[in-house]
Amino acid sequence: MLCVIASKGYTVKALTNLHAKIYQIDEDTIFNGSANLTGKGLALVDVSNLEACTKVQSCESSKSFISKIVDSAYELSAETINEMESYISEIEKTDNSELQMTWPEHVLPQSKELFVSDFPLVKPGDFAREYKLNPSLQFAQIENAREDKKLASMLFKQSKAYRWLKSQACNKLSDRDLGFGQISRLLHDALADDPAPYRQK
C-alpha cells in the first residue's frame, strides 16, 4: 500500500515514536483523534470503527507543531518500504523476546529531534499508560526489560535521552558540573514538542 502511494509521486514519511493521528486538511482545518488512515478508521466503508475525532481551528502554534513533526520525520522511498516489509517478514519467523521493537538504523534511522516521549514519562518502576499504547517507546522497552538488567542497561545506553544527556555533559563550556537548572533549560530548548501536557500536578 505504501509503495503504491510512493510510486504515485506522494511523499511518505515516518517518525518512529509518533503515535498521534493528526490530519491537516488545509491551512485552517485540523482533525485530531483516534482514527487511523484506513477505510474503517475514516468511515469510508460500510462497516466502520467507532472513532473520536475533534475538528481543531488551526493556529500558529498547532501548525508549528505539525511542521516540526513533518520536518523531523524521514522520507520513505519505495526501496526503504520494501526493506521494512522484509524486516517484518524476518522477525515474524523468530521467537526472540529480546528483539527490540524499533527499526534497525540501516532501515529507518531515529529522528535527530528530541521529543518528550524520548524521555521517561514516569519515575522508574512505574508504568505509564503511554507505554501500553506505544510499546515501541524506548523507555517502554526499558521498563519491559527491567528484570533483565543487562538488556535494560543496553537499551538505556542506546536511548536518545541518555545520548543527549551524555553529549551535554561532554560538551559543557566550563569546568563546573551542569546543575539541574542548566540541564532543564537546555532540555526545554532542545525539545521539538510541548512538555506541558505531560507535566503532573
List the one residue out of 114, 117, 167 whose CA is nearest residue 139.
Answer: 117
pLDDT, one tens digit per residue, over 20-39 is 788 888 888 888 888 888 88
- Find the mean pLDDT for residues 3-24: 80
pLDDT, one tens digit per residue, over 39-96 is 888 888 888 888 888 888 888 888 888 888 888 888 888 888 888 888 888 777 766 5
Higher pLDDT, 12 or 174: 12
Angle between helices 160-170 and 180-190 (to 10 degrees): 120
Question: Cβ-count burial of 131 within 10 angstroms (0-12 exposed, 13-18 middle, 19+ buried)?
Answer: buried
The H or E element containing residue 144 is helix 138-144
CA 156 to chain centre: 16
Domain ranges of the chain: 19-72, 112-198
Q: How far apart are CA 132 and CA 143, in angstroms?
A: 11
Cell of 89: 517478514
Q: How far apart are CA 146 and CA 142, in angstroms?
A: 6
- Residues of the chain above pLDDT 70, percent: 88
Backbone phi and psi for residue 178, each to the nearest 5 degrees, phi listed first:
-70, 130
Name the E strands within 34-126: 53-57, 74-75
pLDDT, one tens digit per residue, over 142-193 is 888 888 889 889 889 888 889 888 888 887 655 667 778 888 888 888 887 7
- The conformational region for residue 9 under phi > 0 = left, psi -120 to 50 = alpha, else beta, is left
Cell of 133: 499504547
The neighbouring-strand residues paired with 53 are 33
